[in-house]
Structures are given as C-alpha cells and as structure tokens.
Amino acid sequence: MKLTGNVHEVPRLSQSDITAMFRLMSEFYDNMDFDVFKKDLNAKDFCILLYDEAGKIQGFSTQKILTLDINGKQVSGLFSGDTIIHKDYWGSPELFRAFTSYFIEYAKRHEEFYWFLTSKGYKTYKIIAKFFLEFYPTFKRPTPPYEKSIMDAYASLLYPDEYDPVDSVIKYKNAKDKLKKGVADITPSVLRDEDVTFFLSANPQHYNGNDLVCLAKISDNNLAPFAKKRFIGK
C-alpha cells in the first residue's frame, strides 16, 4: 500500500479534510476535542496530507513558521504540531519525503532555518534521529548552548506556563491528548534501540502526554546521506 503526500496551506483545507484529520487523530489519541483541534489547526500555516491510493487521508502533519529573537539575532524555523500516520502505513517514508521536498527549498530563503519539534512518542523522536545528522537532544552529545537557547525560546513562546527548561520537556497542566494504550507501546525489542532508550529517559512521563522539545537544522547538508540521496537526489 502506497501513500502520496502533498503540502497544503491551512486556509485552503476543506471541511471534509479537517473532519477526516480529526477522525484519524481520534482513532489513535485519547482526550481529543474537535474545537480544540480546529483552533490549533487554524493557528498553523501548512499541513502535509498523506493520501492512500483511493484518495483517503491516512496521515498528516501540521506546520507553523516561527521567527525568534535569539540574543538579538533573528532565527526562523518550522514548528510541527499534530502529526499522525495510520498504523497500517507505519514505516512509509512519504511524510518525510513530502516534508523535505518542500521545506528544504523553503529553508534556503533563510540564513538558518530549523525544525522545531515536540515529541510525546518515541516514533516521532525516531524521525528526527533517523533522518538528520545533527539534532538535539541526543545520547550522542550534549546539547550546545546556542541550540539549547533556540529550543528554550520556541518552547517558552508556545507553552510559557508548561515548559520546563531544565529537562526540555513540556509538562501539561491540563488533560492533554495522548496516544491510546496499544499504540506504539514500548516492547523489549524496541528498547534495544539507543535512540528509544534515550527518549524514554529524557521524557519519562511521555505516557501522560508530555512533549520532549527537539531541534534540527533544516538543510540538505544536515540530512543523513541515505535521506539526502533518496529524497532530494544528491
């Protein structure tokens, strides 16, 4: 089964698109509320939609462009919001193909352009760990002060009352959407992956919906070699 991904501007999404997206989220997440979902969606700029061969939406990822002041320097990036792929299509590279094909070129408009990512599940964290050479946080190296300042800036902007800069985790005070039990559960085989074990140690209460704040520079030079060759042909 194959997926096809396209990037859409959020104001151009149809009501049927939005309804299908919410139903997909509700299938795999608890504590979903349509009004909250729609409000969050309307605050975004772009949405990557993934379609199956029948044209049904089987995944999506919402994106917002942010510009931050980091010690007097303007730093721009892309914040990823709600992201889901139907479990029947786990392992498909189409979401990241659509992401890179559009936003690698978009990033060239800026001196520096980052992926601002929050991860409440190890599968989302694995995306950044798999496809980028340099990303944070990671077990491979400490987070440098400059990158940490960017992470703190965007997380504090978006979640001023819930972000804990000590451990780089957003700890929600109210009920937060979270993966249903049985979806992306932690198994012994998964724990053999060092990226997964790091994610669990960095975000130990992820099962409550807490988000680990992550960062990677979006550029073709920061893509893993296999991703660079596969997705942008270099």
Could you tell me which residue, 230 or 189, shows the higher pLDDT? 230
Burial of 171 (0-12, 13-18, 19+ CB in 10 A): middle
Average pLDDT of the chain to the nearest whole number: 90
Q: Which band of pLDDT confidence, cut at 50, 70 and 90, is reported for residue 192?
A: confident
Q: What is the mean pLDDT of residues 28-41?
A: 88
Name beta bridge partners: 50. Answer: 5, 59
Chain position carrying tokens 């780089």 = 168
Instruction: State the amino acid at position 33 in one-letter form.
Output: D
Q: Who wins on pLDDT, 229 or 233? A: 229
For position 214, what pLDDT does the model report? 97
Mean pLDDT, range 8-37, rounded to an integer: 91
pLDDT score of 21 more than 80: yes
Residue 12: per-residue pLDDT: 96
Q: Where are the domains of the chain?
A: 4-232
Provide the pLDDT for residue 50: 97
pTM, rounded to two decimals: 0.87
| pLDDT value of residue 209 | 83
SS (H, E, C) 120-136: CCHHHHHHHHHHECCEE
Q: Which CATH architecture has domain 4-232?
A: 3-Layer(aba) Sandwich (3.40)
CB neighbours (10 Å) of residue 193? 13
* Residue 125 burial by Cβ neighbours in a 10 Å radius (0-12, 13-18, 19+): buried
Rounded distance between C-alpha atoms, residue 37 and residue 51, angstroms: 20
Q: Give pLDDT tens digits for 143-167.
A: 999 999 999 999 999 999 999 999 9
Q: Is the pLDDT of residue 134 over 90?
A: yes
Q: Quick check: 24 and 41 in contact, CB under 8 A?
A: no
Out of 34-38, 187-191, 208-212, 229-233, which region has the weakest mean confidence (pLDDT)? 187-191
Q: pLDDT-derived band of residue 11, with 50, 70 and 90 as boundaries?
A: very high
The token pair that represents 75 in the structure block: 């730093």
Mean pLDDT of 76-105: 90
Question: What mean pLDDT is predicted for residues 189-209?
Answer: 87
Measure CA of the first residue to CA of the last residue in the chain; give whole Å. Answer: 27
Q: How confident is the model at residue 82 (pLDDT cuts 50, 70, 90)?
A: confident
> Do the Cβ atoms of 176 and 36 come closer than 8 Å?
no
Nearest to 19 by CA among 27, 7, 8, 9: 27
Averaged over 74-96, what is the pLDDT?
90
- pLDDT of 114 > 70? The answer is yes
**Residues 213 and 158: beta-carbon distance below 8 Å:** no
Q: Which of 23-32, 154-163, 187-196, 220-229 is predicted least confidently?
A: 187-196
Pairing of strands 113-119, 73-85: parallel
Check if the beta carbon of residue 20 is closer than 8 Å to that of residue 57. yes
- Chain centroid offset of residue 181 CA: 20
Rg of the chain over CA atoms, in angstroms?
17
Give dist(CA 135, CA 212) in Å, integer: 13
Candidates 80, 82, 126; CA nearest to 218 is 80
pLDDT value at 40 more than 70: yes
